[in-house]
Structure 1
Amino acid sequence: MTIPGPVHLHEKVSIGMGAYGGAEMTEMAVQCLLGATTGDYELILVDNGSPDSTLEVFKRAAREHANTKIIHFPQNQEYVVCVNAILSHAQGERVIFLSNDYLTTPSWFKGILQSFEMDPTVGISCGTSNYCDNGGNPSRNLVNMNFSFADSDELFIFADGVAKAFAQRSLLDEPYFPGDGFGVRRELLDVIGTFDTNFVGYMGDFDFAVRCKKAGYRVVANQAAFAFHIVGGGVAHLSTAEQQARLDERFARARVAVNRFIDKYGLADVHPYVTELAPVSGLAELEYDAVQRARAEQLFVAPADYSKFIYRDSPGSENRTSSR
């Protein structure tokens, strides 16, 4: 089988990756990214207070890709801050965000970017994956994998097969998108800005999707764009006890975030199952049509300046960093 070559991306594309720990996994994600792409695109790497050698992984990546900027937070920040650091400083007309447990492929990047060309009203584009932490919603962007791949070449070949299988399919409208890997149109960022930092830990991506739609843009899944999501990758480097503590904290924070989301959009008659008993899986019970009909809050969340956290030894540190 022919191994798909990298997709060429120009300087009008920005790719950002955020990481907190898991240096070995981050290395895999970075190498997949660099192997799947070529060209002078902007690369922004955010070390979110990692306790290991993640910063060194990013420094090596910067030596491989000249147009790279590293943002280094000395202490761990919230997910929304990590995303916003990328959205605020990216210069591209198309901005892509990736978690460090997302192994991307040439066809994933191609599909994400083609979505914007297929319809000028597409504001957010996501793809398909083997796993999606989507709050229990029935997802049409899951692809079953009945084998394990030995290296990125095998992953790229599998993803290319997915792309060919779905080549004639239309884009699927979604009520939400997985915050682990997605692309955004610049025009949308000009209208709604960045993630709402009132959503600590969870619901920031759900809220971003709602604001996208209220601004008149679509949230879509391109089934031809496959990337591999490492299940549990975000906590794989932790001990069993630490993983359980993280899970307990996750549900506590999710309860707060879901309730903030319900309050923000004035959703009535939400079952306690959603807010208290199963704040993550219960998100499937939210009435997304009601969310879209809910009162319109201020859509724009202003970008922030994170330039003081730019790692000055990175090749792209001299680039312009002010938000648009």
Structure 2
Amino acid sequence: MNIHTPFVLDLVVPIHGNLPLNKIFFESLKENTFHPFRLIVIDNHSPDASGEFFQSQKGKDFDVLVIKNSKNQCYPVSMNQGLKVSTAPIVGLLNNDIVFSPGWDSPLVDAIQRGVTDCASPIGLEHLPDANLEEFLFSRWRIILKRQYSSEEEENLRTKINVMYGSLPIFGKWIQERFKGVKFPGIMGHCHLISRHLLEWIGELDVRMEGADWDLYLRIAKMVKEGKLEKLPMILGDSYVHHFIRATKRKKGFREPRICNHPPHINIEEKWSLFEISEYWPFPNQRPGFKKTFSERIRKILLKLKARMTISKRDGIYLAERVIGKFSKT
């Protein structure tokens, strides 16, 4: 890429092997990102050719920088390494187990540039504006996740996406149009964009926190409460990104042990009090002490049954308009 091309986005992604997943991730990123971007790959001693794969990528509207480490670092250390070399006005913190809908970045970048928020995430399986739709899609994916469609891992993963959506571009366009203009406080750990202004305020991620998204949101929410910042992180309905969610979890003992030269990792409850989590975390069903009501449990059972009944449907239009539209209310 021409080095004078202004990058709107620096996108940081840590990897540790898993070439099939990395190929799907990058193909989707390249095809569906609207703004010029630089991908900063933190290669944590990959046991395969993943680093070389990313180094070989060339394009007109993107660049790829691969930083190779001699050990397998943890997530927050890897992200900090990428943040240190980032220079773009907006920086994305990404996982490599995600697939993008067309133009996923445009609403997020626009919200940051217009001052709506300094940290923007897409909707996805974990958080949607519609609780029924969220449970239906999440249940559908959990069923597909357990199935094996091919002995070849890349083909297996691609087939799972096809079974899930039929056509992710078609489904993504439908759902982004449905929730256009909808926004709510929150953060998606697998994909969020942050303004340079906010990065200057928060500095590095806390290297002790592997749940870095929780910690980041709580830090920002606390500063908003104290009047040091004005805007909470927001999830925007105009953008949809699919998260594989443990689809590629390795068998115990297979992954190279991480080597961290910092204080031990701690749980979110060891840094933040239960009061602070309950006060600042935006999703009530994830707060300490939350219990489902009887009606809530019944509702989820029924939605899981609906998900199982439609599992053979591969047409994205069918899934969007004929199945979800029957029971999901905005």
For the pair 1:180 / 2:190, whether they are aligned, the reply is yes
- CA 74–256 in structure 1, closer or farther in 2 if over 3 Å, else same: closer
Partner of 2:45: 49
Tell me the distance in 1 between the aligned counterparts of 2:121 and 2:136.
14
Q: Is the 1:12–1:91 contact (alpha carbons within 8 Å) kept by the matching residues of 2?
A: no
Deviations 1:152-209 (A, max 9, x none): 993222211111111142x1012xx23211111111001111211122xx23221111
Which sits farther off after the overlay, 83-92 or 65-74?
65-74
**Contact 2:205 2:216 (C-alpha < 8 Å) held by counterparts:** yes
> Aligned pair count?
247
| Residues 267 and 12 (structure 1), Cα distance of their counterparts in 2 relative to 1, 3 Å cut | same
1:167 aligns with 2:176: no
Measured after TM superposition, the shift of residue 139 of structure 1 is 10
- On the 8 A contact 2:8/2:35 being kept in 1, the answer is no
Equivalent in 280, 284, 289 of residue 286 of structure 2? 284
Q: Counterpart amino acid of 1:92? A: A
Question: Does structure 2 retain, via aligned residues, the 8 Å contact 1:126–1:178?
Answer: yes
CA contact (8 A) 2:97 2:243 kept: yes
Fraction of identical pairs, as percent: 18
State TM-score, norm by structure 1.
0.64
Tell which deviates more after alignment, 55-64 or 17-26: 55-64
Alignment pair present for 1:27 and 2:13: no
Contact 1:107 1:163 in 2 (8 A): no
Q: 1:64 & 1:45 partners in 2: Cα distance?
A: 18
* Residue type of the alignment partner of 2:84: S
Corresponding position of 2:306? none
**Which stretches in structure 1 are left out of the alignment for 5+ residues?**
1-8, 133-137, 250-254, 271-281, 289-324
The corresponding residue for 1:130 is 125
With over 3 angstroms needed to count, the CA separation of the structure-2 counterparts of 1:224 and 1:125, relative to structure 1, is same
Runs of 4+ in 1 over 4 A off after TM superposition: 62-66, 138-143, 145-148, 150-153, 266-270
Structure 2 residue runs of 5 or longer lacking an equivalent are: 141-159, 224-228, 259-263, 278-283, 291-330
**Deviation readout 1:211-254 (Å, 9 max, x if unpaired):** 2223323111112211111132342xx34x547x99xx9xxxxx
Deviation at 1:106?
2.4
Q: For residue 203 of structure 1, what is the aligned residue in structure 2?
A: 211
Larger Rg: 2
1:47-103 CA-partner distances (Å, limit 9, x unpaired): 122111211221122567663211111211001012112222111111112111011
Structure 1 pair 159–143 and aligned structure 2 pair: CA distance change class (3 A): farther
Counterpart of 1:218 in 2: which secondary structure?
coil
